[in-house]
Structure 1
Amino acid sequence: MPDGRILFTDLDGTLLTDDRMVSEGNRRAIADALERGNYIAAATGRAVNSAKMIMEELGLTLPGCYMIAFNGSVLYDCYEKRILQQETIPVPDVCRLFEAAHHAGIYIQTYNRNEILTERKTKELDYYAEMSGLTYRLMPDLGHETLKEAYKVLLIYQNGREVLEAFQKENEHWAKERLNSFFSSSEFLEYTPAGVSKGSAVRNLCQYLGIPLEHAVAVGDEWNDISMIQAAGIGAAVKNAVDAVKEAADYVTQRDHNLDAVAEVIDRFLL
Structure 2
Amino acid sequence: MVSPRIAFLDVDGTLIDSGEVIADSTIDAVQTARANGHLVYLSTGRASVEIYPVISDIGFDGAVSAGGGFAQIGDELVIERTMPAAAVARMVDFYEASGFDFYLQAFDELYPSPGVRDRFAAYFHSDAEQTVHTGGHGVAIADEHPALRAFADVRAYSFSGIAKSVFLGGDQTAYDRVAEALSDDFHVITGTIPHMGRGSGEVTLDGVNKGSTILQLLDRLGLPAASAIGIGDSTNDIEMLQVCGVGIAMGNATDAVKAHADEVTTAVLDDGVWNAFRRHGLI
TM-score of Structure 1 vs Structure 2, range by shorter chain? 0.7 to 0.9
**Corresponding position of 2:135:** none
User: Which residue identity does 1:7 align to in structure 2?
Assistant: A
Structure 2: unaligned runs, 5 residues or longer: 124-142
Whole-Å separation in 2 of the counterparts to 1:57 and 1:133: 20
- SS of structure 2 residue aligned to 1:114: coil
- Answer yes or no: is 1:49 the counterpart of 2:49: yes
Alignment map for 1:94-173 (pairs within 5 Å): 94-122=88-116, 123-124=118-119, 126=121, 130=145, 132=147, 135-136=150-151, 137-139=153-155, 142=157, 147-157=159-169, 159-160=171-172, 163-172=173-182
The alpha-carbon deviation at position 189 of structure 1 amounts to: 1.3
User: Which residue identity does 2:259 align to in structure 1?
Assistant: E
Q: Which moved more, 1:46-55 or 1:238-247?
A: 46-55
The alpha-carbon deviation at position 266 of structure 1 amounts to: 0.5
Alignment map for 1:216-235 (pairs within 5 Å): 216-235=228-247
| Structure 1 stretches of 4+ moved >3 Å | 125-134
**TM-score normalized with structure 1 length:** 0.85
CA RMSD in angstroms, aligned pairs only: 2.3
- Answer yes or no: is 1:31 the counterpart of 2:31: yes
Match of 1:179 among 171, 176, 186: 186
- Contact map agreement 1:8 1:219 (CA 8 A) in 2: yes
Whole-Å separation in 1 of the counterparts to 2:226 and 2:203: 28
- SS of structure 2 residue aligned to 1:151: strand
Whole-Å separation in 1 of the counterparts to 2:107 and 2:260: 31
Whole-Å separation in 2 of the counterparts to 1:270 and 1:133: 39
**TM-score normalized with structure 2 length:** 0.82
Measured against aligned partners, the alpha-carbon deviations of 1:50-106 in whole angstroms (never above 9, x if no partner) come to 225344321x15xxx11010000110123xx22011111112111111221222221
Structure 1: unaligned runs, 5 residues or longer: none
Match of 2:214 among 152, 177, 202: 202
Whole-Å separation in 2 of the counterparts to 1:24 and 1:91: 42
1:34–1:157 Cα change, 3 Å: same
Alignment map for 1:238-253 (pairs within 5 Å): 238-253=250-265
- Contact map agreement 2:66 2:105 (CA 8 A) in 1: no
